[in-house]
Amino acid sequence: MAAAWMGRHCWVVVTWWVLGLPSSLLTVTCSGAPRCPVHPTELVFALDQSRGVTEPEFARMKEMMTSLLGGLRVREDHCPAGARVAVLTYDSHARLLIRFSDAYRKDRLLREIEALPYERSASSRDIGKAMRFVSRNVFKRMLPGAHTRRIATFFSGGPSADAQTITTAGLEFSALDIIPVVIAFSQVPAIKRSFAIDDTGRFQVIMVPHRTDSAPALEGLQRCTFCYDVCKPDASCDQARPLAVQSYMDAAFLLDGSRHVGNAEFEEIRGFLGALLDHFEITPEPETSVTGDRVALLSHAPPHFLPNTQRSPVRSEFNLTTYKSKRLMKRHVEESVQQLNGDAFIGHALQWTLNNVFLSTPNLRRNKVIFVISAGETSHLDRETLKKESLRAKCQGYALFVFSLGPSWNDQELEDLASYPLDHHLVQLGRIHKPDHRYGVKFVKAFISSVRRAINKYPPINIKAKCYRLSSADPQQPLRQLQRYYLLGIT
């Protein structure tokens, strides 16, 4: 059974609300309008109004935006076809001028854009901050549907100094399936480097220097990004993907099996872990090869564990050399991993992992990552150990990535545990709603790429003094290696 109606040349066939089908099955056919975009699209434009941007440059940005919108169908009413458009300006802060909810007719939208005033600014350019504003505020309420596309186009008059914020925004855009496009009037090396973490080729930097014709670049952007049909891809639009880097890692997962986790939640976490394994290039010869990734899995929080006893704080599911394929690892996760139902001792589990997994394994990779999946606070008996062992791991060049899945958490504990910068190494999936594991999986994919490309330094420079003090107090801490890290800038 289905219903249909027509309004403003738009036929909409509705079956999902009657049959209980997902909204992605909504069928839309429109006549008398451009077929671009093919799929429902949310389109954001951000204009650079930072210090140094001249009035002619700002006018050029508006002209280019108007040119791009000229060939698009703009969504004007409740017909779920075309593009919803939002517009903002930015310098060190972002200002939203036209919202998705405004739903202007196309002719009025173009007039509103034409009327946007040039304002001289004394503030510096922070495109990373503007990107995060878009992902966290402008795209906060998004259209449903499997093929709904989200594109954010940023105009930039020059480079932006804060590379760290740009990388953070890139990680979030990857996790949220937002396609960023930067149209730059001059070289933007920090943006190009950060965008390389996305290996799909969707993240784009388009150069249109002064006194050059922008029409060819804009035509390609419109045809291959705004008007792209994911169901019928145009082979001429294949994007050049970032070159792969020969950089491998040893990774250990610390899985929370404590009583903080419900049975249903633990089953979901197992599925989440299986999806994370897809993003590694597992070596077929883990014991002898020096190439390829290796992964270990440990469950922590066994029952009756207490510090300073002979009991182990973890159950070792498999080590770095146990399995030579993702298929075997996933089968172990599905068939053998069980909840332990004890108290969480994350610090002791981390200590055990450093001493018994990494230090006893030959051919350690340059990149060493420990993923901590946590559903709640660690035991009060563990807090000092957690602080000490997390610092020890960071000073020895490990990257510590933390998933916080539970409804309760300790901010200081998470900050002590995760590597710097926190926005790159800490994902809190359970703060408000049911954890969005898909977001976490996509974030990890981009994070792994950032590790391979040495986007961050391990150890980070900001803990240099702490590492020197630790190495002076602990003879097992490799002082000479730390000096080499910092004095030579090796990561």
Task: Give the tens place of pLDDT for each residue, 429-477.
Answer: 865 456 678 999 999 999 999 999 999 999 999 898 899 888 776 655 5
Q: Please tell me whether residues 83 and 25 are part of one structural domain.
A: no
Residue 260 lies in a domain: yes
Q: Please tell me whether residues 16 and 126 are part of one structural domain.
A: no
What pLDDT score does 387 carry? 96
Query: What CA–CA distance (Å, rounded) separates 490 from 431?
Result: 36
What pLDDT score does 15 carry? 33
Q: Please tell me whether residues 435 and 312 are part of one structural domain.
A: yes
Residue 57 lies in a domain: yes
What is the count of structural domains for the chain?
Answer: 3
> What range defines the domain where residue 23 resides?
1-32
H or E segment and range at residue 449? helix 437-452
Q: Please tell me whether residues 217 and 280 are part of one structural domain.
A: no
Residue 269: count of CB within 10 angstroms of its CB: 23
Helix (H, G, I), strand (E, B) or coil at 445: helix
Residue 196 lies in a domain: yes
Query: What CA–CA distance (Å, rounded) separates 166 from 260?
Result: 35
CATH of residue 120's domain is 3.40.50.410
Residue 173 lies in a domain: yes
Q: Please tell me whether residues 216 and 308 are part of one structural domain.
A: no
Outline where DSSP puts E strands in 139-201.
149-156, 178-184
Query: What CA–CA distance (Å, rounded) separates 346 from 334?
Result: 23
pLDDT in tens, the chain (491 residues): 333 333 333 433 333 333 333 333 333 444 444 489 998 999 999 999 999 999 999 999 999 999 999 989 998 876 778 899 999 999 999 999 999 988 788 999 999 999 999 999 999 999 999 999 999 999 976 555 567 899 999 999 999 888 999 999 999 999 999 999 999 999 999 999 999 999 888 999 999 998 899 999 999 999 999 998 888 888 888 777 778 888 999 999 999 999 888 888 899 999 999 999 999 999 999 999 999 999 999 999 999 999 999 899 999 999 999 999 999 999 999 999 999 999 999 999 999 999 999 998 999 999 999 999 998 899 999 999 999 999 999 999 999 999 998 777 788 999 999 999 999 999 988 654 566 789 999 999 999 999 999 999 999 998 988 998 887 766 555 545 555 555 444 44
Residue 244 lies in a domain: no
Domain boundary, last residue among 206, 237, 268: 237
Q: Please tell me whether residues 289 and 388 are part of one structural domain.
A: yes
**Cβ–Cβ < 8 Å for 28, 149:** no
Q: Residues 282-323: pLDDT tens digits?
A: 999 999 999 999 999 999 999 999 999 989 999 999 999 999
What pLDDT score does 16 carry? 32
**Contacts by 377-380 with C-beta closer than 8 Å and gap 24+?**
377/344, 377/408, 377/409, 377/410, 377/413, 378/344, 378/345, 378/346, 378/347, 378/410, 378/413, 379/343, 379/344, 379/345
Q: Please tell me whether residues 22 and 45 are part of one structural domain.
A: no
What pLDDT score does 28 carry? 40
Residue 59 lies in a domain: yes
Q: Please tell me whether residues 96 and 169 are part of one structural domain.
A: yes
What pLDDT score does 25 carry? 36
Q: Please tell me whether residues 148 and 228 are part of one structural domain.
A: yes
Residue 243 lies in a domain: no
What pLDDT score does 225 carry? 93
Q: Please tell me whether residues 159 and 291 are part of one structural domain.
A: no
Query: What CA–CA distance (Å, rounded) separates 458 from 74?
Result: 47
Domain boundary, last residue among 217, 237, 257: 237
CA distances, 110 to each of 20, 64, 74, 265 (Å): 39, 12, 11, 49
Query: What CA–CA distance (Å, rounded) separates 343 from 377?
Result: 9
What pLDDT score does 468 carry? 86
Residue 469 corresponds to which tokens in the numbers above? 């003090």
Residue 110 lies in a domain: yes
Q: Please tell me whether residues 205 and 299 are part of one structural domain.
A: no
Q: Please tell me whether residues 60 and 134 are part of one structural domain.
A: yes
